[in-house]
Amino acid sequence: MSTPSEYTPPTGAHEHELATHNALAWVRFLSGHAQIAEAELAAAGLHPVTIAHGDPEDPEETQALFKTLPRQAKQTQALQARSGGNDYTTYLFTNPTAAAAFTADAVALARPWWRITPTAHPLWR
């Protein structure tokens, strides 16, 4: 995998073009790492479910994110009940059926802006 430092901009590029090319090089580099991480999880038999939810806006959303979903994850045999930041949560399962069941539970509770994906990294769009 190439790193951003290995990128060679086109000859005669302007400062803005150089900055754009460098930013795109970083995006390619980091997305490569996400793909490697996903492949490593799959090889280990782990099935992630990530919920990109943002900061909770009301008590019901807080309850769903920090009490209800962790309890459901535990009931559906999540390997790890919760990891992530304030605005996303990732659950890991050793069983794809359990991951699918949990995803269905999460979708039932989801707010319109939540993104629920079978990935280990949040997807915001």
Cα(46)–Cα(16) distance, integer angstroms: 42
β-strands 47-52, 88-93: how paired?
Answer: antiparallel
Q: Are residues 55 and 9 in the same domain?
A: no
Report whether pLDDT(1) > 50: no
pLDDT, tens digit, for every residue of 6-25?
Answer: 555 556 656 656 666 665 56
pLDDT, tens digit, for every residue of 32-57?
Answer: 677 777 777 788 888 889 999 999 99
Query: Which domain covers residue 96, as residue numbers?
Result: 46-117
Q: Are residues 30 and 80 in the same domain?
A: no
90 within some domain: yes
Contact between 93 and 76 (Cβ < 8 Å): yes
CATH number for the domain that contains residue 94: 3.30.70
Q: Are residues 57 and 104 in the same domain?
A: yes
124 within some domain: no
pTM given for the model = 0.70
Cα(121)–Cα(118) distance, integer angstroms: 9
123 within some domain: no
Mean pLDDT score of the chain: 79
Q: Are residues 92 and 65 in the same domain?
A: yes
